[in-house]
Each structure stands twice: as structure tokens, then as C-alpha cells.
Structure 1
Amino acid sequence: MEHFISDMSHHFAIPFTNPVLIFALLLFIVLVSPMLLKRINVPSIIGLIIAGVIVGPYGLNLITDSAGVNMFSTIGLMYIMFIVGLELDLKEFKANQNKSVVFGIFTFVIPFLIGYPVCRYLLDLNVYASILTASMFSTHTLVTYPIVSRMGVSKNQAVAITVGGTILTDTAVLIVLAIVINSSQGAFEFQFLLKLLISLVVFSAIVFFIIPIIAKWFFQKMESEKYLHYIFVLFIVFLCGFLAELGGIEPIIGAFAAGLALNKLIPHSSALMNRIEFIGNALFIPIFLISVGMLVDISVVFDGYQAIYIAAVLSVVALVGKWLAAYLTQKTFKYSVAQRNVIFGLSSSHAAATLAVILVGFKAGIIDEYILNGTIILILLTCIVASFVIQKAAKQIAIAEEDEDIIPSELGHYAQEKILVPIADASNIGKHIELAMLLKDNKSVNSISLLGVMPNNEQAERNIIIFKKNLQEQLSDAVAADMKVDVIATIDHNVAGGIVRTARETMADIVILGWPGKTGILEKLVGDKVDLIIKNMDKNLFICH
């Protein structure tokens, strides 16, 4: 018994060392957090980050920064950037690449210009520390992108320019980091800039020219081996990340480039795309968000006034700088308030790139522990603020896009004239057909639709067959005039309701009704068929006598 208890206590010793138990706990958090927070309308991202704070080394210490967790965290971050590149509307991105450059400049320069004097004169940091910390304000990680993707607004122009700006500003920050580190060590040379430029050229050639050719060949040759497609895609993602790292570029930029390279080869509605999104959203991305929370050391707020003061100043400067960049972008390109908030929500969350800059500076002795701890608090606060902002803004855009008028280019042949002729008596349709032929636009490819609405009873199927048979015998005029005519038969409890519904389903522009017959007492009270149709239909109506 003692041996059993000892063995059990070993398995549950804190921090957990059993990989099976650690993975089970992570999956439990991924499962439960969204379920609990959905009830109080809190984004699931926040729940995962807070859960990471609780179970992490600075919380209950159930999970440490083990190699397995770090691996899943790295995979999750690269997965986010890969999906961003994969889901990006390339036509929209290319059409607005200049806007991406403008936003990239705003979101890099404005936080930097605000952050440098604050760090230099308010926090009393030296020049190198001020430059490095100010550049940290310019970085951002697309932590909240899964919310945008889930809301179905990832193709909005505001999202496209934010993604483009992300790559620009993060690359600029990494160059600043290299310059500061080399300068602080008194060994600044321009050779590393030349190396970086050459690496970018070679990397771009491999990713955007060679990899698409290989991928296209692989998908064609392995058409029947669907599971291999997903493995191949994962391999490409991490190969690109590794190639980027070899060239002195962040792996997340390599993952984003992999998404762009495979963008045209993986249709958004394909089974492969569904697998990519499902596994990422179910496993890799949630564990990355938990790992972000594990970095947060809440105890720094108890280290005295200075720690709280520095954390507050850093957080305020980071949020204000990004908001101003989003505001200027909105005014420059005349975006809506919701689009501005999407830009702010996507670009205000600081995580991986921010932490990378600060950790490098800390290890080089440029940044002290107060700035390091303040940055970790900044990561938590900005992710929480960004999550709330993006959820509200993305919902507003999704609702607005549903209410937008459809432009003719999106309608295809539905943009051309469509005539619907409801028929009550198949033996008396001559005048209806003549009027329809007179009104029809010869340029329209749509046929004239003859509609019969049958009562929804036991005889419905028999009545449909009889209706279609009788109509075919009466279509000689239309056939002789070489006019396309099709027959629609439907079932409805109310004839008027069936006509209105079918007119909407077929997107008819013109509806030709027969002259109403005698009405009974009930029809006079509630309105006859024609009255009900006129009240409920916004089409051009003709009544043929």
C-alpha cells in the first residue's frame, strides 16, 4: 500500500513531469476554458491565457517550460502565421499593398516615437535600452487572428493591410534589434545587413518559386493519399521556418511566407483546408496561448511601487501607440470605426516577437529585470484588451457585410433580367406568355419561368405532374419564338406566400400575375391573393387581363 501511495505521489508531484499527465491537463484546459467563458461572453483566447498564468511556473507551478510545451508553443505561433498567409485574399492583398506599407510605417514609427522619450526621460533608461524598449512597442503578434477567422471576416481589407503591416514592422524591429545588440557590444558592422539582404533574396526565391512547383507536383502525384497532403503541408511550414532562421529571419515570417506560397494551391473550401484549420484551432494554437500565459509573473506587482509603475507605463504606451497608428490608418483610407478597431485589435496584442526582443536585450545586459517583468505584464494586458476589442469589432463587420447590397459582378447571370409568371390555370396562359415575351430583354440569358403553386395536401404530387403536363401542351408560342421557358412547381399552404417565396428564390425582377377572379367573404376580410402578393413583394408587378 505504501508503495502504491508513493508511486501515486511521484506521478502527481509538482511540477508535473509525466508527459501523459501534462498533455492531459493541457487538453482539459483547452476543452473547459471556452465552455466556461462562453457563458459570460468572454473571448476564449483570454481564458486560455489566464489558464496558462494559473498552471504555469509563476502560478500553481503545475507545468514548467518543458521542451514539449515549448515545442507546441512554437508550432502554435507558426501555425497562426501560416494560416494568416493561407487565408489571405491575395488579390485584395496585392491591390492594397501600398496601404499595407503605409500602415506598417504608422504602426512601427508612431509607437517608437512615443516610446523612446518615455523610456529615456520618464523611466530614465540609457540610449540603447530606450531604443530597444521603444522598438518592442512597435512589434505585435496576431494572437487575436483566430477570432477574425472564426467570425468570417478574414478577407476584409482592414485585415489584409494589418497582416501586411505586421510583416513589415516585425522585420524592421528585428533589424533594429540586430543594430542595437551589435552597437552595444562595440562591434557594429554593415556586413550583417548585407547578409540579411542576401538571405531574404535567396529565401524568397526558394519559397515563392521552387516550393509551389514541388507542392503542385506532390498534390497531383499523391491525389489518393489525402493524409499525406497534410503531412506535406506541415513539412513545408517548418522547412520554411527553418530556412528563415538560417538567414537570420524570424521563423514566424517563414511560416507566413509558406502560407502565401501555398495559398493558390489549397482552396479555402477544400478538405485539406478544413484539416489544417481544425487541427490548428483544436490543438496547436490553444497550447500556444496557454504558453503565453505561462510567461506571466503576476508576483511582480508585489515587488513594490517601481515594478507596478513600469508595468503600467509600458502597457499604456503600447496600447496608445497602436491605437494612434490604427486611428491614422482609418483617417488616411477612410475606414469605418469597426475596421479601425479590427486593425487596433489585431496589432495591439504583444506576445512572441515582443518577448523575443526583450529577452535578447535582457540576456545582453541592456534591459534590467524591471523592464522584463513589466513587459510580461504588458503581454497579458494587451492580449486581454485586444481580444475584447477584436471580438466586438469583427462581429460588427460580419453583421455589416451581411447587410451590404450585393454588387452586380457578384450576382453572375442573376444580375440579368428574370421574369416569373405564376399560373393558376394551365389552359389559359396565352396572354401571359405574350406579355412576358414582349417585356423580356433579349440580352438576358435567363429563361421565363412559369410557376405553379400547389396546395400542400395528399394530392400535391399528383397535381404537380398534371400541372407540368398541361403546361407543356400550351408552350407552342414560346417555342415558336425560340424563347427559353422553364417550369417550376412548388408546394405551399398559401398560394400567395408560395409565389412571393419563389420570386425571392429565383431573384426575379418581373412578376406577371393573372387578373384576379371573384373573391369570397374570407378573401375580402384578409385580402385576396393579389393584395397579399403586392404587400409582401418588392418586385415589378404586371397584371395580365
Structure 2
Amino acid sequence: MNIDFFEHLIHEFELPLQNPVLIFSLILFIILLSPILLRRLKIPGTIGLILSGVVIGPHGVNLLAKNSAVDLFSTIGLLYIMFIAGIELDMNEFKKNQFKSLGFGFFTFIIPIALGLPACYYILGYDLNASFLIASMFATHTLVAYPIVTKFGVTKNPAVAISVGGTILTDTAVLIILAIIVGSANGGLTTQFWMKLGISLSIFLLIIFLILPRIAKWFFNRMDGDKTSNYVFVLSLVFLSAFLAEVAGVEPIIGAFMAGLALNRLIPHSSALMNRLEFVGNAIFIPFFLISVGMLVDVRVILSGYTAIFVAATLSIVALAGKWLAAFVTQIAFKYKAEQRQLIFGLSSAHAAATLAVILVGYKANILDENILNGTIILILVTCVVASFATEGAVKKIVQNQENPDFKEEPEEVVYYENILVPVSNFNKLEPIVDFTVLIKDKKSPYPLNILSIVSNDKDAETNIIQVKRKLEDFVKYASATETGVNPIATIDINISDGITRISKEILASTLILGWPHKETFLDKIFGPKSEAIINATTKTIFFCDFVKPLNTSKKIVLVCPPLTELEDGFAYWMDKILKLANELSVMIDFHAVAETQKAIIKYTKMAKSKTAYSLNLLDFNQYPQLLSNAPFDHLMIFVSARKGSISYHSMLDNLNSTLNKDINDHNILLIYPSVKTSDNKYTEYSDMNAELFIKGVQKVNKIKKGIRTIFKK
């Protein structure tokens, strides 16, 4: 029995390993340990994973063989890289730099081919057809170093936007050339071939950019609360798109990237869904792909003879030279900095997936020989190493420049850390409010998100507060999916509005985000609604939210602000939050304001260097009802109001929340009360004897009169 046990154990450890559990365990330990160990040597984690693949692969110690399981995870990882690149692309930045992306795509396509074609034809001695195919391989690149950009948080840099945009342009062009060359080798460049390629690509693009977003929007509206279903649904669309691309005659990586672009606007960058997509990809699938790239490398090829070394060296030098020249020309043409040129070179110099696809297809079609295949494997290792080092060096320089700017956009006294308080009365409506808060929250703020629930001080107070604390703990877990810290607060108070005001002062809250005010009762009309009590009791910025649809399905933001709102103390703060929200949702803003306010909006967006697209519309208070009734259901309606006595207050703003409830109760609505400056009064001991108090008293009396008249009329 013991002999059988040892025989079984020895069999399990025969090389290459066959036990799937053991294989997966080995891969996970490599993913865990290789970046940690190589970090001490200042070697990028990406290189550690590739080198690990070289060591454990069939050409190393042969721990793992290229089997179906490894191929599956490798393919998923490659598609994941392309999808994440598409989904993380800042669409506002991309639109702003679309011509630069086209320019870089042209440079990084034509320059490597211009260098590679004569090098392969005259130096390596291949015929014109093979030389053109190898030269087109130089134009491709894989975003192997993209996880480094994500790690350092510089994905919104213009250099990243044009690099990613250029990737899809050049790879698509090269893969179409590949189809043409293979068709030419097989004698198939007929009219039927061109018609089939054109029609299939047109149908593919139609499905991806017209049908796919509509299906996704419908699904997100129906399954808003089910985060697991949303994640699985997105992955399903990614791999379906990759398959459709293959059917259309191009590589699956094109389909995955296109799916990322199509879903970009529907998945905000700070959302829980985006966090899950990045986490799973960066933890499992993308490292698996990088290890599998290393498994392709056969170091012994270098020792097989002079020809193999010469071919590998020529391919590597020409490939890197072509990409560096393309980055250099791009820097000169668009006046980028040296570190941005290095970042463009780092992102575009790695050759892996598309390169291997081109060479393997050419090899199987007998257009290329074994020397080119072996040389390409060495090329992949060399370029991946160079790309990783170049990218990490560039992003570190960019981050250092960001952290140590030469000048400050704002005066020192404006710098502060926001502290957000979210009071909750209805837990069923808290989830979309938390999602909204995560999208607009300043990531540099050291404060967690404060969620407050107030329990009435009655005989059931102790029982109720225990239940409330349990519910709050659920939202701590929910917010943790976005890596947002939450501070749950449960307290007892006689009056809810007083409790909110008290806690906001205790925690030094800068912003309050509340659910939409309830309908007013008769007592509210006499004594004043709770929302009005909170507004009058604090000078902080207040957001009232009513989200009946997922925010990520919004097509546009319509923002209405009263005259003189730019003179309020909180103007810059709420403008910053709305621009941030629009950028997260990848939508434009329709501002409705008077001419002077429009000037302030233009000035602020320029100062903030906002990339958000917006339009300006002249506001007329008499158009309020028409504006509300004509608003499409998929627009996020934002209204800026003002406290009584503030500089932008207008009588038209009275009862604005009830007007909104009546006219656009099927829309996502946001009502903003900007913060106002507190005036220092040296006679504070007589604060109960002032004109404002008498004015409020007169207003209460008038409300009572109107209420009594209404009763007698009935």
C-alpha cells in the first residue's frame, strides 16, 4: 500500500506536470512570488512573470507544457489586456487626441515597415512577399506593459491615450495585411475575397458599436442590483466580441478591444464593476498570459548557430529602432515631453500576441522559415524586457512631475480634504447614492465615506439601533468592492435634521449627500420640511439625489444653474464634482446659465484643464417648465439651487424640489445647494435677535395663512 502511495506521488510529479490542481498552484505561487523577489532587484514584475515562463516552460526545466488549459488561460489573459485597455481609455481624452492617435498610428505603422522591408529583403535575403510580411510584423505591438501604467495611475495621460488608440489602428491594419498576403500566397486575391472581407468587417463593427451597447444598457437597467450578473455579462460580451472578430476575418484581440470601447461609457472607472474587472484580470488572467509568453521562448535557439543569432539580432534591432523612431517623430509632431516619448515607446515596443499571430500564420502557410520563427521568439523576449523597463521608467518620471509641479493652480488656502457625510433613512435607496458618492469622491482625501443612520429616541431605540448597525455593515462590504473606506455611524436623536446637523459638525463634514426629500405633509408646510431645516442649519455643500436608473446608462448631463451662482463660495467645488462625474460617465454636459455664469464656467473648465465636452445654453427662468417637460428619460438632470439670503437666491427656486417631483419624477435628478461663507458676528450672544429671524417668522405666518385658506376653500 505504501509502495502504491509513493508510486502515485512520483507519478504526480513527473515532468511536465499533468495534475491541473498542481499546475494551477504552481502558477499562483509564481504570480505571487516572482514580482516580490524581482522587486528587490528593481526588475519590473512583468519581466519577472515572463522570465518565470522561460524557466518553467518546455524549453526550460519543463515543469509545464503548452497544453489546452495553459492555452485557454493565456488566450483569456491576452483578450483581458486588450479589453482593459479599451475600457480604461479616457474617451474624452481620446476624442480630444483622436487626430494625434491617427498620426501616431500612421507613424508606428509606416516607419517600422519602411525600415523592416529593406532589412529583410537585402540583409536577410528573403523574397518580397516574405519580407513584406516580416516588415508588417514590426509594425504590430502588444500592450504587455499596460499593467505598469495602470499600477502607477497614469492611464489618463495623453501619451497613453494615443498609444492605445494607435495600437488598435496599426494592429488592425497589419492583421488585414496578413489576410491579404496569405490570400495572395494561395492565389485568392479575387473580387470575392475583397467583398467578403469588407462585408464581414462592416457587419462586425455594426454589431459591436450599435447593437452591443444597447443590449448592455438594457441589461444594466434590468439587473442593476446584481453585481455578479453584471460581471459575468460583461465577460460574456468580451469573448463573444472576440469570436465575432475571428469570424469577420481579423484577430480576436481586435474584438476584445472593440468591446472595451463599446462598453467604455457604461462602466465608470471608479465603479465597483470596474474594480472587479481590473482585480480579476490583474490577479489571475493577465499574469497567466505573461507567463505563457515566456514559455514560448527557447533560449537554446541562440546556441543553434550563427544564422539564428544573426536573424534574431536583426529582427530585434529593427523592431526596436522602428518603434523608437515612431515615438520620436510623434514627440516632435505633437510637442510632447521626453518622458511622454519614452512612455509611447515603452507601450508600443513590446511584440507578443499580434506578432506571434502574424509569424505563425506565415510559417504555416510556408511563406516564412524556421529561422524567422525562432528569431521572433527571441524578439518577443527582448522587446518585452525593453518595453517594461522603458514604461516603468517613464511613468515614474511622469508621477514625480505630477507630485512636484512647478506651480500651483490654486492658492494655498483653497487646498483642503473633503469629508463626505451620507445620511440615510431608506436603505433600499442607499446603494445608488453610494455609487454616486464613490464616483465624485476625491481619491486623495484621507477621510472614509461616512454613512449615517439616525434612530428616534423612543422605547424601541436600542433594538432599532442594533438593526441599523447590521444594515450599515452590509454597505461597508458593498463599498469595499471599490476600495473605498466606509465609516458607519448609528446614533440616537429626537429630531432627524438636528441629528444630521450635529454629526456633520462632530466629524467636520465638508459635504452632505442625501436622498430625495419626501413629499411634504400638512405639518411640514406649517413648521417647515426636514430638508429645509438641514439646508438652513448648515453652510456646507448639499447634494439631494433621486436615482431611478443606473447612472452609467445616462447619455448626457443637463445642468441648470441660476444667475450669480458663480459668486457663491461653493461654485468651484460643485463644478469640480460635476466635471468629474461627467468624465467618469464619459458624457457631455449641457449647461443652462446666463451669460455671466457661462463666462465663469468657461474660465473654470480651462483652469481645471477639464477634458469633458460641454455646451452652453442661455437660461431664461420662464423656460424652466418647458426644459423639465422636454427632458429625455436617459438624461441626468442637475439643478443648482441656493439658500435664502445667499447672493444667487431667487424666488423661482422656492419649492424647486416639489416642482421636480411633479415634472420629471422618472428621471435621475440631482439638486445642489452650494456652500456659503459664514459671516463672523461679534454680537453672537444676541444671535436670537436679528432681522433674519423676524423674516423667517413672517414667512411661517404667511405659510400658516395659506394653509388655513386652503382648508376653508375645500
Q: Would you say the 8 A contact 2:201–2:249 is kept in 1?
A: no
Counterpart residue number, 2:302? 301
Q: Which residue of 2 aligns with 1:13?
A: 14
2:50 is aligned with 1:53: no
Matched, 1:225 2:226: yes
Deviation at 1:371, TM superposition (A): 0.9
Write the distance in 2 (CA, Å) between the matches of 1:449 and 1:56. Answer: 68
User: For 1:148-170, what per-residue CA distance to the aligned partner results, in whole angstroms no more than 9, with x for missing partners?
Assistant: 11111111111111111111111
2:676 is aligned with what amino acid? S
Structure 1 Cα separation of the partners of residues 104 and 148 of structure 2: 21
Give 2:676's match in structure 1, choosing from 435, 447, 450.
447
In 2, Cα distance between the equivalents of 1:231 and 1:219? Answer: 12
- Paired with 1:135 and 1:205, the residues of 2 have a C-alpha distance of 27
Instruction: Name 2:659's counterpart in structure 1.
Output: none
1:227 Cα deviation (Å)? 0.8
Structure 2 counterparts to residues 396-545 of structure 1, below 5 A:
396-404=397-405, 447-449=676-678, 471=684, 473=686
Match in the other structure for 1:382: 383
The percentage of aligned residue pairs carrying the same residue is 57
Paired residue total:
444
Kindly provide the amino acid, as one letter, of the partner of residue 319 in structure 1.
L
Q: Classify 1:186/1:197 alpha carbon distance in 2 versus 1 (closer, same or farther; 3 Å).
A: closer
- Counterpart CA distance in 1 for 2:137 and 2:63 is 30
Matched residues in 1 for 2:567 and 2:257: separation?
A: 41
Which residue of 1 is the match for residue 514 of structure 2?
none
Q: Give distance in 2, aligned partners of 1:86 and 1:355.
A: 24
TM-aligned CA deviation for residue 200 of structure 1 = 2.1
* 1:154-165 alignment runs, 5 A limit: 154-165=155-166
> Structure 2 vs 1, CA of residues 476 and 296 (structure 1 numbering), >3 Å: closer, same or farther?
farther
In 2, the alpha carbon distance for the partners of 1:417 and 1:224 equals 37
Measured after TM superposition, the shift of residue 400 of structure 1 is 2.1
Return the letter of the residue paired with 2:677. I
Change (3 A) 1:476 1:203: farther
Instruction: Say which SS state the counterpart of residue 448 (structure 1) adopts.
Output: coil
Structure 2: distance between partners of 1:303 and 1:319:
24
- Contact 2:298/2:377, CA 8 A, preserved across alignment: yes
* CA distance in structure 1 between the aligned counterparts of 2:79 and 2:692, rounded to whole angstroms: 62
Cα-to-partner distance string for 1:60-110 (whole Å, 9 max, x where unaligned) = 111111101100000001001111111111111112111111111100100
| Per-residue CA distance 1:322-347 (angstroms, 9 max, x = gap) | 00000000000000111111110000
More helix by share: 1
1:167 — aligned with what?
168
- The residue number in structure 2 matching 1:348 is 349
Distance in 2, Cα, partners of 1:203 & 1:354: 23
Q: Quick one: which amino acid aligns to residue 56 of structure 1? A: G
Q: Distance in 1 between matches of 2:281 and 2:182?
A: 35
- Relative distance call for 1:183 and 1:442 in structure 2 (3 A) is same
Q: Which residue of 2 aligns with 1:205?
A: 206
Q: Which residue of 1 aligns with 2:395?
A: 394
Instruction: Render the CA deviation track for 1:336-375: whole Å, top value 9, x for unaligned.
Output: 1111111100000000000000011111111111111111
Consecutive unaligned residues of structure 2, counting only runs of 5 or more, are 416-439, 441-540, 542-564, 571-645, 650-673, 696-714
Taking structure 1 as the reference length, the TM-score comes to 0.77
Matched, 1:134 2:111: no
Within 5 A, what are the aligned runs for 1:229-378?
Answer: 229-378=230-379
3-state SS of the aligned residue for 2:265? coil
Q: In 2, distance between residues paired with 1:281 and 1:238?
A: 17
Partner of 1:511: none
**Are the aligned partners of 1:136 and 1:358 in contact in 2 as well (CA < 8 Å)?**
yes
CA distance in 2: counterparts of 1:196 and 1:327, whole angstroms:
34
- Residues 298-320 of structure 1, C-alpha deviation per residue, up to 9 Å, x if partnerless? 00011111111111111010000
Q: Which amino acid aligns with 1:177?
A: L
- 2:75 counterpart letter in structure 1: T
Which residue of 2 is the match for residue 512 of structure 1? none
Q: Tell me how far apart the structure 1 counterparts of residues 25 and 130 of structure 2 sit (CA, whole Å).
A: 41
Match for residue 519 of structure 1?
none
Partners in 1 of 2:298 and 2:263 — Cα distance?
39
Which residue of 1 is the match for residue 584 of structure 2? none
Alpha-carbon distance between aligned partners in 1 of 2:355 and 2:253, rounded to the nearest angstrom: 13
Tell me, in whole angstroms, the C-alpha distance in 1 between the residues paired with 2:192 and 2:359: 24
| Residue 88 to residue 5, structure 1, CA distance change in 2 (3 Å) | same
The one-letter amino acid of 1:31's match is: L
Task: Tell me the CA shift for residue 196 of structure 1.
Answer: 2.2
Between stretches 286-295 and 88-97, larger displacement belongs to 88-97
Q: Secondary structure at the match of 1:366?
A: coil
- Partners of 2:326 and 2:278 in 1: CA distance: 30
Q: 2: CA distance between counterparts of 1:361 and 1:350?
A: 16
**Highest RCO, 1 vs 2 (Cα 8 Å, sep ≥ 6):** 1
- 1:185 & 1:249 partners in 2: Cα distance? 18
CA contact (8 A) 1:141 1:350 kept: yes
CA–CA separation in structure 1 for the residues paired with 2:79 and 2:685: 62
SS class of match (1:13) = coil
The match for 2:181 is 180
SS at match of 1:388: helix
SS of equivalent residue, structure 2 residue 336: coil
Given that 2:268 and 2:274 are in contact with CA atoms closer than 8 Å, whether structure 1 keeps it comes out as yes
Partner SS, residue 174 of structure 2: helix
- Taking structure 1 as reference, are residues 209 and 59 closer, same or farther at Cα in structure 2, changes over 3 Å only? same
After the TM superposition, which of the residue ranges 201-210 and 67-76 deviates more from structure 2?
201-210
Moved more, 252-261 or 349-358: 252-261
Contact 2:569 2:675 in 1 (8 A): yes
Q: CA deviation at 1:402?
A: 3.5
Q: Which amino acid aligns with 1:323?
A: W
Aligned residue type for 1:392:
G
Give the whole-Å Cα distance in 2 for the aligned partners of 1:54 and 1:229: 38
Contact 2:312 2:374 in 1 (8 A): yes
Change (3 A) 1:263 1:7: same
Structure 2 CA distance for partners of 1:186 and 1:208, relative to 1, 3 Å: closer
Indicate the residue corresponding to 1:33 in structure 2: 34
2:107 & 2:174 partners in 1: Cα distance?
13
Task: Spell out, residue by residue over 1:410-429, the C-alpha distance to the aligned partner (whole angstroms, 9 max, x if none).
Answer: 9999996869xxxxxxxxxx
Q: Deviations over 1:486-531 (max 9, x none)?
A: xxxxxxxxxxxxxxxxxxxxxxxxxxxxxxxxxxxxxxxxxxxxxx
Aligned partner of 1:67 in structure 2 is 68
| TM-superposed deviation, 1:191 | 2.9
Structure 1 range deviating more: 359-368 or 42-51: 359-368
- TM-score, normalised to structure 2, is 0.59
Q: What is the one-letter code of the residue matched to 2:111?
A: I
Structure 1 residues 446 and 118: alpha-carbon distance in aligned structure 2, compared to 1, 3 A threshold: same
Aligned-residue offset at 1:188: 2.3
SS of match in other structure, 2:195: helix
Q: Provide, for residues 129-157 of structure 1, a one-character-per-residue CA deviation record: whole Å limited to 9, x for no partner.
A: 11111111000000111111111111111
Deviation at 1:390, TM superposition (A): 0.3
Distance apart, 1:450 and its partner CA: 6.0
Contact map agreement 1:81 1:252 (CA 8 A) in 2: yes
Map Cα deviations across residues 232-266 of structure 1 (whole Å, 9 max, x no partner). 01101001111111111211111111111111111
Gaps of 5+ in 1: 420-440, 452-467, 483-545
Secondary structure of the residue that 1:263 maps to in structure 2? helix
Distance change >3 Å, CA 149–CA 224, structure 1 → 2? same
Alpha carbons of 1:472 and 1:378: their partners in 2 closer, same or farther (altered >3 Å)?
A: farther
| Letter aligned with residue 358 of structure 1 | I
Local SS of the residue matching 2:266: coil
Alpha-carbon distance between aligned partners in 2 of 1:208 and 1:53, rounded to the nearest angstrom: 39
Aligned mates of 1:35, 1:126 — CA distance in 2: 47
CA distance in 2, matches of 1:116, 1:299: 27
Whole-angstrom distance in 1 between the partners of 2:135 and 2:284 = 34
CA contact (8 A) 1:416 1:446 kept: no
